[in-house]
């Protein structure tokens, strides 16, 4: 039976494991599409349009927002970022799920959009704040000042956990991944995500009548 694709939103404070879990989910099911954001910032060396980002001029980006073609958008350090609507709708029509690696503000906008009824939102929590800071330091990517900034932002991000459909505590990466797979598998089977289900049941009833 045909299945309508859903929008899977993953949010977490930096270092809680959201990006790693997203990659694991896409390796588990290659049909899952990652939502590539659009941005007005200039491409960096090696970046390709449509792979890392859709690179757009500010005028073009603002036109897309005005036309309702962005599911969510925000301005960060003078550049606009957002999630284009058209690729998501195409994936939904093909029965493919789209995963969004975004913060709580982007999640709010998508849940409030016309596609909000097809959203499944998951917030990933760290096992403790101490472990969260340790993970950021083990990555070895940021200076002490950057880590301090991420930790300062962490409390505000965590305060939005109750806005999400599901919460996963990432004590163990493999266990958290199994929980994600369970959530997605169950949501795919919801009655309202199986548009051919009513016709299938009518076929069963016809079999009863023919006996």
Question: What's the pLDDT at 106?
Answer: 92
Question: What's the pLDDT at 1?
Answer: 63
Question: What's the pLDDT at 71?
Answer: 94
Q: Going by DSSP bridges, is the β-strand pair 38-39/79-84 parallel, antiparallel, or unpaired? A: antiparallel
What strands, in cross-sheet order, belong to the sheet with 98-101?
Answer: 33-34, 98-101, 7-11, 119-125, 166-169
Structure tokens, 67:
């036309």
φ/ψ region of 52 (left if φ > 0, alpha if ψ in -120 to 50, else beta) reads alpha
| pLDDT-flagged residues of the chain (< 70) | 1
Q: Going by DSSP bridges, is the β-strand pair 119-125/166-169 parallel, antiparallel, or unpaired? A: parallel
* Domains within the chain, CATH numbers bracketed: 7-210 (3.40.50.300)
The values of phi and psi at residue 79, to 5°, are: -115, 145
Structure tokens, 172:
């163990």
Question: What's the pLDDT at 58?
Answer: 97
Helix (H), strand (E) at residue 51: none
Question: What's the pLDDT at 142?
Answer: 79
3-state secondary structure of 178: helix
Nearest to 6 by CA among 100, 81, 75, 124: 100
């Amino acid at each position: 039976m045909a299945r309508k694709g859903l929008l899977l939103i993953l949010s977490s404070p930096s270092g809680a494991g959201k990006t790693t879990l997203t990659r694991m989910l896409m390796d588990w099911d290659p049909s899952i599409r990652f939502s590539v954001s659009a941005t007005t910032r200039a491409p960096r060396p090696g970046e390709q349009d449509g792979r890392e980002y859709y690179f757009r001029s500010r005028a073009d980006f603002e036109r897309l927002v005005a036309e309702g073609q962005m599911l969510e958008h925000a301005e960060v350090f003078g550049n606009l970022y957002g999630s284009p609507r058209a690729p998501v709708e195409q994936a939904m029509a093909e029965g493919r799920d789209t995963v969004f690696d975004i913060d709580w503000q982007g999640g709010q906008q998508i849940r409030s959009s016309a596609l909000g009824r097809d959203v499944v939102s998951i917030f990933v929590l760290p096992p403790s704040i101490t472990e969260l800071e340790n993970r950021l330091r083990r990555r070895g990517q940021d200076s002490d000042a950057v880590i301090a900034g991420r930790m300062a932002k962490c409390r505000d991000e965590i305060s939005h956990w109750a806005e999400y459909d599901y919460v996963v505590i990432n004590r163990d990466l493999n266990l958290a991944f199994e929980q994600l797979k369970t959530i997605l598998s169950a949501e795919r089977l919801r009655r309202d995500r199986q548009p051919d289900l009513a016709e299938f049941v009518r076929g069963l009833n016809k079999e009863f009548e023919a006996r």
